[in-house]
């Protein structure tokens, strides 16, 4: 396994656990961390069946490392987003295996939107999400303006962005922003069980359902029905489908191996 400076990556029993590892800075996103996350996600996609993003220490991610901005008067935010954030976000969004954000603490700014890039977001109840951008004269980035209105609705998304107030994990759960909020004392065991469940699942179906759901934003109904038929055809020729049907008929748990 590669040695990284700002993250750790462990792969065991089909689960790749990527931990942001700069706890003294609340796992802020530096240039190096963004590059390492991008690399690690690609490695996990090749070596594992599930990817979990989480943080070391008390925070998930506090967002952009403001000490990494150098000369503010010369800072080219557009370049940073295009050259550093977009590859990282695309790596997660396009990852063919299921992705989980296990939000272990505060997720702020780009850190909140990094969490939302995953297929499933599970947060500890003490965590919160903060679109902090307007506090320093910016707009939400790192995919925030895409995911927030889709997951929370336009009214909640606009308020979250304008007022830059923390949204508790319980609120985020109730608003449909995340999959679930879990009591702190059960959090680690819970997300690990969720990841283990997906690691044993039908990987071909998982990859295709990700394509279908994420592709639906750009499709008409007719185009989406066509995409469903195409992807379902691929599922139907997989070993997973044959095993799933056989297990159903034999009244046993399936044993999926992927392609």
CA distances (Å), origin 242, targets 131, 201, 250, 258: 45, 13, 12, 11
Edge to edge, the sheet with strand 107-108 lists 107-108, 128-130, 167-168
Q: Where are the domains of the chain?
A: 7-199, 203-250
Dmax (CA) of the chain: 68
Q: Decide: pTM greater than 0.75.
A: yes
- pLDDT by residue for the chain (259 residues), tens only, comes to 788 999 999 999 999 999 999 999 999 999 999 999 999 999 999 999 999 999 999 999 999 988 866 555 556 888 999 999 999 999 999 999 999 999 999 999 999 999 999 999 999 999 999 999 999 999 999 999 999 999 999 999 999 999 999 999 999 999 999 999 999 999 999 999 999 999 999 999 999 999 999 999 999 999 999 999 999 999 999 999 999 999 999 999 999 975 5
* Residues forming a β-bridge with 182: 124
Helical pair 221-236 and 203-215, crossing angle rounded to 10 deg = 170
Do residues 213 and 229 make contact, with C-beta atoms less than 8 angstroms apart?
no
N residues, the chain: 259
Do residues 215 and 227 make contact, with C-beta atoms less than 8 angstroms apart?
yes
For domain 7-199, the CATH superfamily is 2-enoyl-CoA Hydratase; Chain A, domain 1 (3.90.226.10)
């Amino acid at each position: 396994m590669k040695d990284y400076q700002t993250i750790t990556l462990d792969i065991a029993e089909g689960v790749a656990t990527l931990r942001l590892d700069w706890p003294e800075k609340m796992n802020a996103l530096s240039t190096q961390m963004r590059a390492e996350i991008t690399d690690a996600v690609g490695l996990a996609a090749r070596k594992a069946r599930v990817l979990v993003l989480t943080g070391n220490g008390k925070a998930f991610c506090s967002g952009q490392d403001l000490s990494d901005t150098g000369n503010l008067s010369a800072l080219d935010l557009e370049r940073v987003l295009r050259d550093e954030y977009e590859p990282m976000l695309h790596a997660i969004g396009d990852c063919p295996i299921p992705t989980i954000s296990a939000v272990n603490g505060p997720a702020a700014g780009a850190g909140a939107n990094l969490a939302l890039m995953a297929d499933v977001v599970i947060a500890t109840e003490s965590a919160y999400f903060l679109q902090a951008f307007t506090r320093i004269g910016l707009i939400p980035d790192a995919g925030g303006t895409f995911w927030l209105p889709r997951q929370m609705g336009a009214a909640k998304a606009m308020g979250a962005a304008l007022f830059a107030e923390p949204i508790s994990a319980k609120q985020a759960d109730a608003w449909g922003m995340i999959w679930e909020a879990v009591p702190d004392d059960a959090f680690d065991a819970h997300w690990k069980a969720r990841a283990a469940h997906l690691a044993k699942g039908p990987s071909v179906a998982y990859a295709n359902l990700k394509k279908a759901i994420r592709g639906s934003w750009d499709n008409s109904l007719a185009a989406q029905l066509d995409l469903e038929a195409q992807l379902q055809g691929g599922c139907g020729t997989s070993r997973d489908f044959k095993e799933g049907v056989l297990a159903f008929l034999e009244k046993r748990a399936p044993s999926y191996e992927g392609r």
